[in-house]
Structure 1
Amino acid sequence: MPQEFIYRAKTGYGKVVTGTVCANDKRTAVNQLREQNLFITSFELLRRDKAKAKKQSPLRKINSHELATFCRNLSTLLDAGVSMLGALKILLNNTGNKKLKQAISTVIIKLEAGQGVADSMKNDSGSFPQIMISMLEVGEKSGQLDNTFLQLANYFEKEQAMKEKVVTAMIYPVILLLFSLVMTMVLIFFILPEYTTVLEEFDVALPVSTRLLMSIGTVAGQFWYSPIVMMTLGLAGITLLRKNLRFKRIVHQLILKLPVVGGLMKKIMITRFTRALSDLVRTGVPLLQSLEISEKVIRNSVFKKAIRVARNNVQQGRSMARALQNSSLFPSAAAQMLVVGEESGKLDQVLEKTADFYERDVEVSLSRLSTMLEPALILITGGFVAIIVLAMIMPMFELVGSANYMY
């Protein structure tokens, strides 16, 4: 049974490195480190208490970009004639992500023990996604691992590109929103209480808006900690409710019904689903298994249910595309394309074209949403600040007028 050892070593350039290695025994682990040209300075079995502490501090997750780079490099090395074991050992020394490094180390040990590539990549930590393992199972049987890794690299690159487009489109609106919130909090919790103290010293008739702001300022000054408490309770409540499947489904339904955002989310889900299903079917993974894996790629529970219905249709010998066509989540054009692909026997090609079409549509929709949000947030922020400033300035005019009248 493989054991985990913790080590401290030096490279040929004198750089100190630390990490863990899995092996059946100590000698095998030491030999494995020496093959990496490491000079061991300390080496011991990872005890249960250390393993527990390590488990409580999980390593950074392997993202799509790192998986894409890993798959593309493997494809290049295999295409150049390097063995699978040799290619993995080369990548092991050039990987920065500690979790990926540990995963590669475990794969190497399993390969040396005689296991297949796909079986070696199966582990409890979920380092490699199911779509990758299923495609590799087929690629391994057909003897086309280099092409399979190339397909996986393209898939993960497109997944990463989609995420980056969403993040890029939302960066400016989010920054603007945060700035607005901070500015509002500063006005309410710091400036208004001081302003209220000054105005209370003068006997001036105050407008309703000013009196309302003064009340808010007084409460804010007395209970300055309330936003922190409310945010903490809110985050704790959301964290607990996220584990509730019924609550999650209600939230997912509401998101899909939101104007503009709901339509955009549908397009993103369709893109991810059709992209994953296309690559799986093209590789040769059975349709039923492909649908099961594609369902795991989607996070929205409402979409998951629609895919599950389609999978049940396939299991009963009926059409997958017809089931999706009956779902309100899939636009009629997309569903019709899938029907044509299924009937013509070119489902993988049609799925890929559908994914490309909706990916371009998502890009356009994100650009439009960002363009709409920016001026809207500026107007809302400017209007809110203008109301506060006017409510603060109006009593000052009253004071100046009273002073002029007295003199």
Structure 2
Amino acid sequence: MAQFRLKAISQKGKVVQTEFEADNKKQAQNKVDRLSKTNGLKIQALDEKKVYMYKAQRAGKTVVTGEQEAYSKEELEKALVKLGYKVKSINKKLFDFKGSVPHDEVVTFISLSADLLNQQLPYDEILNLLYEDTQNKRMKEVIKTIQKDLKDGKEGDEVYGKHEDVFGKFASYMLSVASTSGNMALVFESTAKFLERDAEFKKNMRRSLMMPAVTVLAVIGVILFYVGYIFPATAELFLEFDIALPPMTAATLEFSYWLSDNWILILMSFLIPISAFIYFIKTPKGELLKDKYIINIPVIGDLLHKTSIEIFARVFYTLYSGSGQNIEVIKVAAEACRNKYMEKQIKEVAIRRMLKDGAGLIESMEATGVFTNTALSRFRLGAESGALRENAKQLAEYYELQTTYKMQSVIDMINLFVNLFIMIALIAITVVSSESAIIQPNTGV
């Protein structure tokens, strides 16, 4: 977030100066306008903190260059002069590209924080260590900002919420509640585990779907090139000599002509529905319907369903305190489970029944229709034995193992179908080519 400074005059004639953060200048101006109307302030200036490059020199010393954030060029110049420097030049940095933070960098930050917290190191000292060891420029800035905000006494949601674009929505929330959870190390550790599992799952999904998809598309491309370009050039030679074509060769040639005449229509008939489908599933309604039906797809649906329940159980275990029904915990776990339909059912069915009807947790979860019998039995056993939190952890670990093995089975099955598709395509090309090779010329006069 960008940092801004407001200078204004109050109704009593006093100078008011405050600093605040906003996503952009427009949002900052809107905040200032609301503040002005509410408190009757007369706005004098709204400055945004920028990065300046400077050259300065102390008497008898070499010229030093550097970068510094400031609200204005004059402000930075005054600060350098106060430190005993003679300013040679100060220019605003035109391109302040901070770069992105790789997912592994975020996981490392949270994991190391958890390990060092378990070793009883103060969090401020941990941030110092991580700042020194981090090479990523953007991550360095994030750590520095977190450290400053914590020293200023800001709340966790304000400290980490502004870095949602780096940590992600769920991780930002988890880190924000860590300081008030009573066990900061456990929350950091569970968050790191969640991010690791999330990254591993996405990697395996790409591995199971991306490469087979590329392979299938490549094979289809080869077949179309053969049928549309290579095969007609060969088959038409026989037609020039008035040689009758065998049935399969004739049918393939007719198909080739049809492809050549209608390739634009065929291409659009694929591109338009696919584009429309992708656009639809990115809308709130489309995403909800996609997540509702995707868990019912054979093999892959069961894997996605159990992964979502695993995440729900892991977050529930991390945040559940054992006192009351922990509505907020259930809500956060639902938002983290990565399935909009499950999230909707848990919020609108389970939580509503618990709040309005006074229903129990297990009864409400069962009414959602999105939890497996295994999950319900583990939660029920935990509720009856008074070990709900521990049973949630056991469920998460059980589904973690099961989905890990199941993912490998899915990958093997997809690879099998891809190999079968390639084999069928090669056989078809071989048969058509063989039939063409044995065509006999007409011997009649």
TM-score range, shorter chain: 0.7 to 0.9
The 3 A distance-change label for structure 1 pair 146 and 337 is closer
Q: Structure 1 125/354 Cα, relative in aligned 2: closer, same or farther at 3 Å?
A: closer
Check conservation: 1:107, 1:121, Cα contact below 8 A: yes
Structure with the larger RCO, 1 or 2 (CA within 8 Å, 6+ apart): 1
Aligned counterparts of 1:44 and 1:78: Cα–Cα separation in 2: 40
Distance 1:145 1:25 in 2: 39
1:185 match: secondary structure: helix
User: In 2, are the aligned partners of 1:192 and 1:214 still within 8 Å (CA)?
Assistant: yes
The answer to whether the aligner puts 1:320 opposite 2:361 as a matched pair is yes
Shift of 1:143: 5.8
In the other structure, the counterpart of 2:390 is: 349
- 1:81 and 1:384 mapped to 2: Cα distance? 62
Which residue is 2:39 aligned to?
none
Aligned partner (choices 182, 186, 191) of residue 230 of structure 2: 191
1:92 to 131, 150, 153: 131
> What count of residue pairs does the alignment treat as equivalent?
380
Alignment of 1:88-237 (within 5 A): 88-97=127-136, 99-123=138-162, 125-141=164-180, 144-170=183-209, 173-221=212-260, 233-234=272-273, 236-237=275-276
Q: Distance in 2 between matches of 1:189 and 1:250?
A: 39
Shift of 1:353: 0.8
1:44 and 2:85 are equivalent in the alignment? no
Deviation at residue 6 of structure 1 after TM alignment? 3.3
User: Which residue is 1:377 aligned to?
Assistant: 418
Find the partner of 1:387 among 421, 428, 432.
428
Which structure 2 residues correspond to residues 2-81 of structure 1 after superposition, within 5 A?
2=20, 3-6=48-51, 44=92, 60=100, 63=103, 65-78=104-117
Shift of 1:250: 3.2
Deviation at 1:300, TM superposition (A): 2.6
* 2:295 counterpart of 1:256: yes
Residues 102, 208 of structure 1: alpha-carbon distance in 2 compared, 3 angstrom cutoff: farther
| Segment of structure 1 superposing worse, 309-318 or 139-148 | 139-148
Conserved in 2, the CA contact under 8 Å of 1:295 and 1:304?
A: yes
CA separation of 1:225 and 1:198: change in aligned 2, threshold 3 A: farther
- Where in structure 1 are there 5+ consecutive unaligned residues? 11-16, 32-40
Kindly state the Cα deviation for residue 69 of structure 1 after the two structures are TM-superposed.
0.9
Letter in 1 for 2:152: A
Q: 5 Å matches for 1:240-319? A: 240-281=279-320, 287-308=326-347, 309-316=349-356, 317-319=358-360
Distance 1:261 1:148, change over 3 A: closer
What are the Cα deviations for residues 69-122 of structure 1, in whole angstroms up to 9, with x where unaligned? Answer: 111222344556654344334433443555544433432342343314443111
Deviation at 1:172, TM superposition (A): 5.4
Distance 1:262 1:117, change over 3 A: closer
Query: Aligned partners of 2:254 and 2:101: how far apart in 1?
Result: 48
Distance 1:261 1:145, change over 3 A: closer
Q: State the Cα distance separating 1:264 from its structure 2 match.
A: 1.9
Whole-Å separation in 2 of the counterparts to 1:336 and 1:190: 61
Residues 82 and 371 of structure 1, relative CA distance in 2, 3 Å threshold: closer
Relative to 1, partners in 2 of residues 1:370 and 1:148: Cα closer, same or farther, differing over 3 Å? closer
Report if aligned partners of 1:4, 1:22 keep a CA contact under 8 Å in 2: yes
Q: How far, CA to CA, are the matches of 1:282 and 1:167 in structure 2?
A: 36
Instruction: Give the residue type in structure 2 aligned to 1:6.
Output: V
For residues 298 and 80 of structure 1, do their structure 2 counterparts lie closer, same or farther at Cα, with a shift above 3 Å needed? closer
Contact 2:320 2:329 in 1 (8 A): yes
Question: In the alignment, what sits opposite 1:362?
Answer: 403
Identity among equivalent positions (%) equals: 19
Residues 9, 338 of structure 1: alpha-carbon distance in 2 compared, 3 angstrom cutoff: farther
Structure 2's unaligned 5+ residue stretches are: 1-18, 21-47, 56-64, 80-88
C-alpha separation in 1, matches of 2:368 and 2:432: 52
Q: Could you give the per-residue CA deviations for residues 160-194 of structure 1, whole angstroms, max 9, x where no partner exists?
A: 33334444444653454344233323323432343
Q: Which residue is 1:38 aligned to?
A: none
Cα distance change of structure 1 residues 379 and 133 upon mapping to structure 2, 3 Å threshold: closer
TM-superposed CA distance for 1:375, in Å, is: 2.5
| 1:338 CA drift (Å) | 0.8
Instruction: Report the TM-score, using the length of structure 2 for normalisation.
Output: 0.70
Greater share of residues in strand: 2
- CA spacing shift, 1:188–1:6, aligned 2, 3 Å: farther
Q: Describe the SS at the equivalent of 2:161.
A: coil
The answer on whether the counterparts of 1:155 and 1:279 sit within 8 Å (CA) in structure 2 is: no
